[in-house]
A and B are shown apart, each in its own frame.
Chain A
Amino acid sequence: MKSRALGIAALFLLPNLLGFLAFTLFPVVASFALSFCRWDPVAQPISAIEPAGFRNYQDLLGFHGQTGPAGQTSWVANTPRFWEALYNTVFMMLAIPFNMAASLFLAVLLNRKMRGMAIFRTAFFLPSITAGVGTMLLWMWMFNKDLGSINQVLAWVGIQGPDWLQSYFWAKPALMLMASWAGVGGVNMILYLAGLQQIPRELHEAAALDGAGRWQQLRHVTVPMLLPVTFFIFIISIISGLEGGFDAPYVMTGGSFGTTTVSLYLFRQGFEFFRMGYASAVAWVLFLIVFLLTMINWRLAEKRVEY
């Protein structure tokens, strides 16, 4: 009986399970192992993979002392480029709180029984559903120094706009602006909308009876009630912020002007310089950061939500 149940279950499970084993479970294990090895797939067959101990991690995260011209010793990262990429990635994640606030704002606006809300919701959602190389080219065109619409608008108010994607100062904000456009009306807004609709009406009514105005209701009823959803969105945003960010710099700036993110750095190491072991180590460091952040967030979320 048991074996029959297993047989039937296997029939359902196998197609997905085989793929899962081949393209998720095996790669995870292999990637971890590979991060302690060195291998150049151009020069060597697969049999030439050789162990490298902690060498990759040491190259990636380690520091070494360097004697300056005056004889003083300073600590220098073994791979400053990695830290730079991490800095760029984190910098571009600074937009997350603003994006979340904007998503909440849009959701609050939409959360009314008024005609045409579905149309507005669709309009806000379109950028996120279409985000891709197509919209990246579109933004490159909009960011164009002389002919782009953004600088034309700025010119109306008498500001001479910068060369957005070719400037060390503006390239990151430009990518962040594009990401915000694609992000604020997306899944986060829908999640907030769902969260808002779950708040019992009575809470607002009670607050109104106590003399709370719109703003106070938002502060004392809406925001606390949305805390779980906010934490969920925050975690997801941080994870995708750390892991994502490959396509836009690859297509729009090629990683120049301080826009090399960790995932672009990893891609370069793996598929341009063919340091497969080292690239795997980068992936695992990234994963560990994500993992730790998620854990910390869950802990915080639990505490806050409980009380």
Chain B
Amino acid sequence: MRNRIDSGRLVVYGLLLVLAASMLFPFYWMAITSLKAKADVFSTEPKLLPGRQLAEQVVEDPRWFFRSGTENYSQLLAWQRLVEPGSGPRGFSRFVLNTVFFALAITLGQVITSSLAAFAFARLRFPGRNQVFFAYLATLMIPATVTMIPSYILLRELGWVDTYQAVILPAVFTAYGTFMLRQFFLTIPREIEDAARIDGCSPLGLYWRIALPLSTPALAALSIVAFVGSWRTFMWPLIVSSSEDLFNLPLGLSLFRGIYTDPDWPLLMAGSMIMTLPMILVFIAGQRYFVEGIRLGAVKG
């Protein structure tokens, strides 16, 4: 009997390992390619597992990694187009900084504005609350393609096309974040709120001292969704930005690919790594909250 269970476990582990390996293989391929020189990629002998070769190279000459292995990365970060007047960061390193800025600004904006609104919907009583909330709910289903064109026209009439605020502002105000946080705020027991109120706590105090601390998982989940979402956002920046000094990494990478008709895959893979790695790190750092957030949100929503 015991043996049977163990072999069952073994089968499950085996399956999981094979599946995980095939899911992670692309990342491995990306990392390996990004360390190679362009000429090595075009050597025709098939080497699906060049990892051994690289490992041997590193063992043989540890300094190799910092000399040749990182060459694509340093080349990329130093890359800038021929003619770009002005001071400050240019080219690829600017794409990186822009992406960081967009992701931080949009995440902060989303968390702040939607937690405030969610608090009002969940914890305050005011005339018209349900009607306004219903309007929020109703727009959850509306695709971005519907709002895209008028939003663009609005920004154009404001003279904001091709500015930082044009990329950031429309992404900040989400009905989704408000909805999700409201569901969480609703679960806070009324007794805690009443006790705080008796202690003379203002609505702002309630929001700051009680609602927010008690919903850390939800806030973390929203932050991760917002951060990753704005890190990789492509369509909206594509529409509103035309100057390269406004590009984020997704736009920068596709520009980079478009410039060279004969793609330098190792270089492009280094770019992909620079874009992908931060998302992996953010996810791993916050995944406990994230998974919990999805689960709670789904069960309640």
Instruction: Answer yes or no: A and B touching, Cβ < 8 Å.
Output: yes
A297–B269 Cα gap in the complex (Å)?
41
Contacts of B135 in A (CB 8 A): 25
Contact between A15 and B280, CB atoms less than 8 A apart: no
Whether A20 and B12, one on each chain, are in contact in the complex, defined by CB atoms closer than 8 angstroms, is no
Given contacts A20-B175, A126-B24, A138-B26, contact A191 B294 (CB under 8 A): yes
A109–B12 CA distance with the chains assembled, in angstroms: 7
B198 to chain A: which residues have CB within 8 Å? none
A287 touches B175 (CB 8 A): no
How far is the CB of B288 from the nearest CB of chain A, in Å?
A: 9
User: Does A132 contact B149, Cβ atoms closer than 8 Å?
Assistant: no
Q: Is A5 close to B, CB under 8 A?
A: yes
Contact of B96 with A by CB under 8 A: no
Could you tell me if A131 and B232 are in contact, using CB atoms closer than 8 angstroms?
A: yes
A303 in the interface, Cβ–Cβ < 8 Å? no
Alpha-carbon distance A266/B147, docked complex (angstroms): 12
A10 → chain B, closest Cβ, in Å?
8
Measured CA separation A16–B169 after assembly (Å): 11
B39 to chain A, nearest CB (A): 12
CB distance from B165 to the nearest CB of A (A): 12
| Given known A16-B113, A141-B268, contact A114–B12 (CB-CB < 8 A) | yes
Per the 8 Å Cβ criterion, residues 238-274 of B in contact with A are: 238-239, 249-251, 253-254, 257, 265, 268-269, 271-274
Assembly CA distance A226 to B49 (angstroms) = 40
With both beta carbons as reference points, the residue of chain B lying nearest to A139 in the complex is identified as: B26
Instruction: Give A208-219 as 1s and 0s: 1 = Cβ < 8 Å from B's Cβ atoms.
Output: 000000000000
Question: In whole angstroms, what is the CA distance A110 to B175 when docked?
Answer: 32
Number of interface residues of B (CB under 8 A): 92
Task: List chain B residues, Cβ under 8 A from A116.
Answer: 13
Query: Given that A12-B120, A141-B265, A287-B142 are known contacts, is A123 also in contact with B276, CB under 8 Å in the complex?
Result: no
Q: Given A138-B29, A153-B48, A243-B144, verify A194-B129 contact (CB < 8 Å).
A: no
Give chain A residues whose Cβ lies under 8 Å from the Cβ of B175.
20, 24
Chain B facing A: main interface SS: helix
B156 to chain A, nearest CB (A): 7
Which of A138, A149, A287 neighbours the largest number of chain B CB atoms within 10 Å of its CB?
A138
Q: Which of B12, B23, B151, B154 touches A127 (beta carbons < 8 Å)?
A: B23
Q: Which of B14-22, B78-86, B186-194 contacts A (4 or more CB under 8 A)?
A: B14-22
- Is B254 in contact with A133, judged by CB distance below 8 angstroms? yes
Assuming A9-B124, A126-B280, is B146 touching A31 (CB within 8 A)? yes
Chain B residues packing against A (C-beta within 8 Å): 9, 12-13, 15-16, 19-20, 23-27, 29-30, 33, 41-42, 44, 46, 48, 112-114, 116-117, 119-121, 124-127, 129, 132, 135-136, 139, 141-151, 153-154, 156-157, 169-170, 172-173, 175, 178, 203, 207, 228, 231-232, 234-235, 238-239, 249-251, 253-254, 257, 265, 268-269, 271-276, 279-280, 283-284, 287, 291, 294-295, 298-299
Enumerate 28 A-B pairs (CB-CB under 8 Å) in ascending A order: A8-B126, A9-B129, A12-B120, A16-B113, A16-B117, A20-B173, A23-B154, A27-B146, A30-B150, A34-B149, A110-B16, A122-B283, A123-B24, A126-B24, A130-B232, A133-B253, A134-B272, A134-B274, A137-B271, A138-B29, A185-B23, A191-B295, A243-B145, A251-B234, A286-B143, A286-B145, A287-B143, A287-B145
Besides the known contacts A20-B175, A34-B150, 5 further A-B residue pairs in the complex with CB atoms under 8 A apart: A16-B173, A27-B150, A190-B291, A193-B295, A194-B298
Measured CB to CB, the residues of A under 8 A from B are 2, 5-6, 8-10, 12-13, 15-20, 22-28, 30-31, 34, 41, 46, 106, 109-110, 112, 114, 116, 120-127, 129-135, 137-139, 141-142, 144, 146-147, 149, 152-153, 155-156, 181, 185, 187, 190-191, 193-194, 198, 229, 232, 239, 242-243, 246-247, 250-251, 263, 266-267, 270-271, 276, 279-280, 282-284, 286-287, 290-291, 294
